[in-house]
């Protein structure tokens, strides 16, 4: 007996082995659940990574501890041990919690909102940046990035 496509699809739906949303949901959850942690002193922040080659290359460097300097009272930056692939664009508005790559090797964590004319490669975003400015402060700080 030969199965027909509608019959096969109905069987799969009943058995729960197929959902038309599985592929999209899997791709979405992969992107949403792909993340890392940023630790400053005793404070830990979850970061959701962008789905791009630069973010994947950053993950390959983890764990990574950087001495990050303050710039313009709105960001912390540090030079990475090696260059990452870039896909720079001008975001216009920078948001508190944005994690970006400036050029091929400068990691930037923004802790205030502001307009910018500079180009960055988006790496990800701090999930809950409410305390980020307070924790990072206006001085240089040591930051550890890790997957767990």
What is the tens place of the pLDDT at every residue in 13-65?
Answer: 333 333 333 333 333 333 344 689 999 999 999 999 999 999 999 999 999 99
Query: How many domains is the chain built from?
Result: 2
Same domain for 133 and 61 = yes
Count the neighbouring beta carbons within 10 Å of the beta carbon of residue 89: 10
Same-domain check for residues 29 and 40: no
User: Do 44 and 2 share a structural domain?
Assistant: no
Give the H/E segment covering residue 103. none
Does one domain contain both 8 and 40? Answer: no
Task: Find the CATH number of the domain harbouring 120.
Answer: 2.40.100.20
Measured in degrees and rounded to the nearest 5, phi and psi for residue 55 equal -65, -40
35 vs 94: which has the higher pLDDT: 94
pLDDT of residue 34: 61
Q: Do 28 and 41 sit in the same domain of this protein?
A: no
Domain that holds residue 67: 35-146
How far CA 107 is from CA of 29, 58, 147, in Å, comes to: 25, 9, 16
Q: Write the pLDDT tens digit of every residue in 112-143.
A: 999 999 999 999 999 999 999 999 998 999 99
């Amino acid at each position: 007996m030969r199965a027909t496509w509608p019959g096969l699809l109905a069987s799969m739906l009943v058995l729960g082995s197929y959902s038309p949303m599985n592929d999209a949901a899997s791709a979405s959850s992969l992107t949403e659940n792909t993340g890392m942690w940023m630790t400053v002193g005793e404070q830990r922040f979850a970061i959701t990574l962008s789905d791009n080659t630069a973010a994947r290359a950053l993950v390959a460097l983890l764990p990574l501890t950087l001495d990050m300097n303050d710039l313009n009272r709105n960001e912390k930056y540090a030079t990475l041990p090696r260059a990452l692939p870039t896909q720079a664009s001008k975001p216009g508005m920078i948001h508190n919690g944005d994690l970006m790559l400036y050029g091929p090797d400068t990691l930037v964590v923004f802790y205030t909102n502001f307009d910018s004319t500079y180009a960055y490669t988006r790496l990800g975003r701090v999930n809950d940046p409410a305390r980020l400015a307070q924790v990072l402060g206006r001085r240089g700080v040591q930051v550890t990035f890790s997957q767990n």
